[in-house]
Amino acid sequence: MKNTHKFVLVIVSVFFVHTGCNTDMDVAIPSISDYNGTASVSQGFATVTTDNLFECSNGREAPVGVSTAMDGSTWTVPAQVNFTDNSFPFASDLYNPCSGITFNSEAAAVMSLKDEDIIEVDPNGELITAFVFADNYFEMYINGVPVGKDMVPFTPFNSSILRFRVSYPFTIAMKLVDWEENSGLGSESNQGESFYPGDGGMVAVFKNEANEIVTSTGADWKAQTFYTSPIKDLSCPTENGALRLSYNCNTDGSNDGTSFYALHWDIPANWTAEDFDDSSWPNATPYTNTEIGVNNKPSYTNFTSIFDDPADDAEFIWSTNVILDNEVIVRFTVD
């Protein structure tokens, strides 16, 4: 019984710190008894460890924090990334207002690339050029080898180009992150509200040396969720096998989200590997350009000839919830 008493006291303490409520008997004490899933559950703000990962004029701050779940586990939010790891290469800019590199065409961007930026997964393999627009951040691995990460963690919106040599077949694995201003609560100031859930989305096209598309993002990719927030009601998320579903959860903004919850799952240690078994993972969910909201973003619209190729239109992909799921891993093998 001693451990049970301690657990209740911790939950009560967290509730009153974040809500500022008094101890009146009509105030409901938060409970996770309605949650039946496999995630670790945290509540309220994370402890910010980095105020802003990247500075750019007209960009949002990109904090990194640590959330402590009710089971005592700790989680880096919105994700554990390699942005400050110099051994992980940056992708080249396709369109980036922060660096001032803002190409208007695929041809101009490709001509600017340098041979020393090519990552050799297989030195005798074919040269592949990848074009990526991610909302907000991505890290890409080919057969477990890091080949490029996003130059901008949050905003302004940018797009990337990267090249690598590899032999067929090869496996693409990407960590995708929808960043957050409210650390640990998957939300930002928007639409006049302080806690407004942002949305994600990623589209990519891979071309060979003959400028032919060898693959692009679509519903045949795999996508698994590892961080979902904000959750207002722990009875709304459900699971069906490997599916982690939050489509029944409320996505409205709020001016007080300090008592909202977050769900965290462990990422497999070898998720980047070519031989990682992702067969049980859900297929990616495709989204339209309108659903993602890119029709006014030149980092995308300057390159619709790539992303919206009439003969092979790449689709935006994410998990089943592009609003609440904030850390998603996608995988695909090119045969």
Check residue 72 and report its DSSP letter: S
Question: Is 84 among the domain residues?
Answer: no
For the stretch 187-212, pLDDT in tens is 999 999 999 999 999 999 999 999 99
DSSP structure string for 87-137:
TSPBPEEEEETTTTEE-SSHHHHHHT--GGG-EESSTTSEEEEEEEEESSE
Give tens-digit pLDDT for 287-303: 999 999 999 999 999 99
pLDDT at 4 over 50: no
The verdict on residue 38 lying in a domain is: no
Cis peptide bond upstream of 237, omega within 30: no
Give residue 66's pLDDT band: very low, low, confident or very high (50, 70, 90): very high
316 assigned to some structural domain: yes
Q: Could you give the number of structural domains in the chain?
A: 1
pLDDT per position as a tens digit, 118-172: 999 999 999 999 999 999 999 999 999 999 999 999 999 999 999 999 999 999 9
**Mean per-residue pLDDT for 18-22?**
39
pLDDT confidence of residue 31: 67
Tell me how far apart the alpha carbons of residues 198 and 190 are, in angstroms, rounded to a whole number.
8
Cα–Cα distance measured from residue 125 to residue 215, given in angstroms and rounded to the nearest whole number: 16
Question: Which backbone phi and psi does 154 adopt, to 5 degrees?
Answer: -120, -95
On whether residue 328 sits in a domain, the answer given is yes
Domain that holds residue 234: 92-334
Tell whether 115 is covered by a domain. yes
Mean pLDDT, rounded, for 45-55:
98
306: enclosing H helix or E strand: helix 304-307
Q: What is the dihedral of CA 180, 185, 189, 193, to 10 degrees?
A: 160
DSSP per-residue codes, 217-276:
-STTSEEEEEEEEEES-TTS-EEETTEEE-TTS----BS--TT-EEEE-PPPTTTTSTT-
- Classify residue 29 by burial, with Cβ atoms within 10 Å: 0-12, 13-18, 19+: exposed
Q: Which two tokens stand for residue 20?
A: 């500022």
Residue 21 has pLDDT above 90, yes or no: no
Q: Is 55 inside a domain boundary?
A: no
Least confident stretch, 11-15, 167-171, 175-179, 298-302:
11-15
| Most confident option among 20-24, 56-60, 149-153 | 149-153
- Residues 97 and 111: their CA atoms lie apart, in Å, by 19
Does 212 map to a domain? yes
Residue 261 lies in a domain: yes
For residue 121, give the amino acid letter. V
Residue range 41-61: mean pLDDT, rounded: 97
| One-letter amino acid of 316 | F
Stated pTM of the model = 0.91
